[in-house]
Amino acid sequence: MTELDYLATKVITLEVILESLIEELENSKTIDGKRLDNIIFDKLNKLREEIDIEKDVDYPNFFMGPKGEA
């Protein structure tokens, strides 16, 4: 098993566990599935925006500016 196969197996396992937990919580009326979906969607959008901002930062120039620049 390659490292990529191992990581893919871990991700799939985590997905199955998470879906099972969510299903159980929905069935027991502990959580509202639609509300949870909205919360997750909002957090993923926020994360996507942060990633896009990180892509725009030129880190070599940010940390290695001209000498004498504080």
Residue 39, pLDDT > 70, answer yes
- Type of residue at 42: D
Q: What is the pLDDT of residues 5-34, one digit of tens each?
A: 999 999 999 999 999 999 999 999 999 999
- Same domain (yes/no): 26, 40: no
Of residues 40 and 68, more confidently modeled? 40
DSSP 9-62: HHHHHHHHHHHHHHHHHHHTTSS-HHHHHHHHHHHHHHHHHHHHHHHH--HHHH
- Same domain (yes/no): 18, 36: no
Q: Is 0.85 surpassed by the pTM of this model? A: no
- Same domain (yes/no): 16, 40: no
The domain total for the chain is 2
The residue range of the domain holding 39 is 32-64
Residue 53 is predicted with a pLDDT of 86
- Same domain (yes/no): 3, 24: yes
4 occurs within a structural domain: yes
- Same domain (yes/no): 45, 27: no
